[in-house]
Amino acid sequence: MSEGSGGAVGLTWIGQAGYAIEAPSGELCLLDPYLSEFALVELGLPRLAPIPLDPAATRAFVVAITHTHHDHLDLITCAALAEANPEVVFVGPSSIVSRLVGRGVAPERIVTVEREQSVSVGPFTFHGHYARHEVSGWLTEDALAYVVEVGGTRILHSGDTEYDMRCLAVGARGPFDVGIFVTNGSGGNMHALEAALMASQLEIGVAIPCHYGMWAPEAYGSGHGPGGRPTLDPQVFADTCAKLGGPAVRVLELGERIDVRPAEIPIAG
């Protein structure tokens, strides 16, 4: 997957809330990879975004999961990754264990991490933090945000979460070279204005919006953004960050990679 500059951490958007993080030494972390039609099979939600990676042909070192919803813990993708990569390790809250084991993943290949806990796998260290993802009938009481440390960088992923002051405690792990925020404003997630506020309250070099563009707009459900609608246009997040004097925003295209280096991205604050 390497196409970036030597010595950098590679960060690639692979759709919805999923990212590929490549260490300078080449190891690949997939965070919340949704690389199948699992939501179509289970929920009747067909994806619109093309699949940017073939999990059966992807060299994965570690797979990190924030919570158990279908577009984050994609069991079709995880089973394919486990079969193609006999040494791959899965990291996530304890709720993922039985689901992965049920798809044939050996328990010894699963490492649990909870809020305020940290685990290291090779060059990656994952710090679990609070996320409030409350969807009626689909509660995920152990949902996580992550701070991923690799190659001297710190990357924050908000996980699926509503805006909650408790989420700001993650700032103690900062400053962050990159902050990734859900912005869709439906299904228990922040809308773009709330996400921009959170980004502006933390020390972040570059902020990236996510959790849009996977399904048809109506499939994201009713929202709570301006006008009572979801906020599926990432430009709303970018414009609001600018109005708040927050961090610079980078809106990635599907499959686009950026190189992240420690201390080269100016920190807002």
pLDDT confidence band for 139 (50 / 70 / 90) = low
Q: What is the pLDDT, as a whole number, of residue 267?
A: 45
pLDDT confidence band for 222 (50 / 70 / 90) = confident
Q: Domain segments of the chain: what residues? A: 9-260
Residue 4 has pLDDT above 60, yes or no: no
Considering the domain 9-260, what is its CATH architecture? 4-Layer Sandwich (3.60)
Q: What is the pLDDT, as a whole number, of residue 226?
A: 85
The residues that bridge with 92 in the sheet, in sequence order, are 112
CA 120-158-26 angle, to 5 degrees, is 40
- DSSP assignment of 11-37: EEEEETTEEEEE-TTS-EEEES---SS
Give yes or no for a contact between 123 and 23, defined as CB atoms under 8 angstroms apart: yes
